Structure 1
Amino acid sequence: MSDNATERLSAVEGEIARACKIARREPGEVTLIAVSKTHPAEAVAPLIAAGQRVFGENRVQEAADKWPALREAHEGIAVHLVGQLQSNKAEDATRLFDCIHSLDRPSLVTALARAFDKAGRQVPCFVQVDIGEEEQKGGCAIADLPALLTQARSAHIPLAGLMCVPPHGIEPAPYFALLAKLADDHGLPGRSMGMSGDFATAVMLGATHVRVGTALFGAR
């Protein structure tokens, strides 16, 4: 298991490095988030042993059950929330996560600002954009993005950048390029985009954070 984890991590890091070389970027500009949702602690431990330190979870409760013990056992771990966040879970998320990738609506801005004040802790947030205009997915509509960013800045939410999940089964490059342009237009440095099937393309188009699950853990 550990050998597999080492090989998978090396393969993903190698692909990121190759994509960076093509794009004339440095691999250090890209943060690899190992998406460990649904995987138990014993499946995560080999990746930690292989050197991975940044992980992603979709659900607050799963992270609360899994990560406190792993953090205690291993130094330098960061855990990002990459799934949707309910406003009533804002306080729990503030305590658990080092970064939130799914800020997508005014009510969540309000809830997070209140939670940050209560906890005395600021958590960097990516604003999720509904880049493919898909009603079933989370994310702020592109037309609503300027107003949401203004509200978040007024509430002193630390903005890390923008995040997207392109439509499934469609060439993702145009969507990644659009997210990068939106981030540039709004003066935001971070671009959380790209998953197991398309992270190399995302890196070539400016991703600063890629969210990789299957390529690191295998199919669930």
Structure 2
Amino acid sequence: MIADSATGAQQRLATVQAGLYRACRDAGRLDAPLLVAVSKTFDAVDIRPLIAAGQRHFGENRVQEAQAKWPELQAETPGITLHLVGQLQSNKAAEAIAMFDVIHSVDRPSLVTALAKAQIALSKHPACYLQVNIGGEAQKGGSAIADLPALLAQARDAGLNIIGLMCVPPATVEPAPYFALLAEHAKRLGLPGLSMGMSSDYETAALLGSTVARVGSALFGSR
């Protein structure tokens, strides 16, 4: 069973990487997006085979879940980079700064303030993305497009290391126009990073300039 799990992890990782490289080749890109394996809801036993296959960047949705499993995994394998890809409550800002190397979900002024305070207290400055509600969906987190310039200015003034934009496009429509729109706004704001693309659409995202793909089920199997 362990051997089967390891082989399956290697195969899934190779399949996703090949898809990203193929999309980049078709787009005339020389660089492939960074692949972040989204391990939310998966236990350490499910994660270890992917680590053994060479994956080093992992994403979690919740601070508390990450705290429960990643200290042991990081002790076993140095060099793991942790990404927070889910919504972050302001009262969890200090714990997020302590736990994660990259935060993809900065989306409102109150969170900027909380993260800036935590950075000073912990002397740690993770890379951050501004999350954009690219489809204007009421049920989703993310900054409204119109609010992005002001949010970016506040974040920079507060000392946050903002390196790009992140989005989750509406689930029931073609994602390409939303990825293209995010890329347009990132370019306008002078931000190089584009955190976009998940299991169902990472190749499309790579075609349209993604620099980070957040992939879960295509690497781990169904939750």
TM-score by length of structure 2 reads 0.97
Structure 2 residue 29 is the aligned partner of structure 1 residue 25: yes
Q: Determine which of 68, 73, 86 is the counterpart of 1:70.
A: 73
1:192 and 1:210 in contact (8 A); partners too: yes
CA distance in 2, matches of 1:84, 1:160: 18
Q: Percent identity?
A: 60
Counterparts of residues 132-151 of structure 1 (less than 5 Å): 132-151=135-154
Deviations 1:68-95 (A, max 9, x none): 0000000210010000000000000001
Give unmatched runs, 5+ long, in structure 2. Answer: none
CA distance in 1, matches of 2:72, 2:145: 39
CA distance in 1, matches of 2:77, 2:29: 30
Letter in 1 for 2:170: P
Deviations 1:159-213 (A, max 9, x none): 0100000001100000000000000000000000010000000000000000000
Q: Determine which of 185, 192, 195 is the counterpart of 1:192.
A: 195
Match of 1:173 in 2: 176
Q: Determine which of 200, 205, 217 is the counterpart of 1:214.
A: 217
Give unmatched runs, 5+ long, in structure 1. Answer: none
Secondary structure class of the residue paired with 1:107 = helix
CA distance in 2, matches of 1:25, 1:46: 30
The number of residue pairs the alignment matches comes to 219
CA distance in 1, matches of 2:106, 2:30: 28
Match of 2:165 in 1: 162
Letter in 1 for 2:11: E
Structure 2 residue 101 is the aligned partner of structure 1 residue 92: no
Letter in 1 for 2:43: P
CA RMSD of aligned residues (A): 0.6
CA distance in 1, matches of 2:83, 2:35: 11
CA distance in 2, matches of 1:120, 1:206: 32
CA distance in 2, matches of 1:214, 1:120: 34
Secondary structure class of the residue paired with 2:140 = coil
TM-score by length of structure 1 reads 0.99
Secondary structure class of the residue paired with 1:102 = strand
Using the TM superposition, give the Cα deviation of residue 24 of structure 1 relative to its aligned residue in structure 2, in angstroms. Answer: 1.1
1:33 and 1:54 in contact (8 A); partners too: yes
Runs of 4+ residues deviating >4 angstroms: none
Structure 2 residue 155 is the aligned partner of structure 1 residue 152: yes
Q: Determine which of 46, 51, 55 is the counterpart of 1:52.
A: 55
CA distance in 1, matches of 2:57, 2:172: 27
Q: Determine which of 86, 92, 115 is the counterpart of 1:112.
A: 115
Using the TM superposition, give the Cα deviation of residue 26 of structure 1 relative to its aligned residue in structure 2, in angstroms. Answer: 2.4
CA distance in 2, matches of 1:132, 1:37: 24
1:17 and 1:26 in contact (8 A); partners too: no
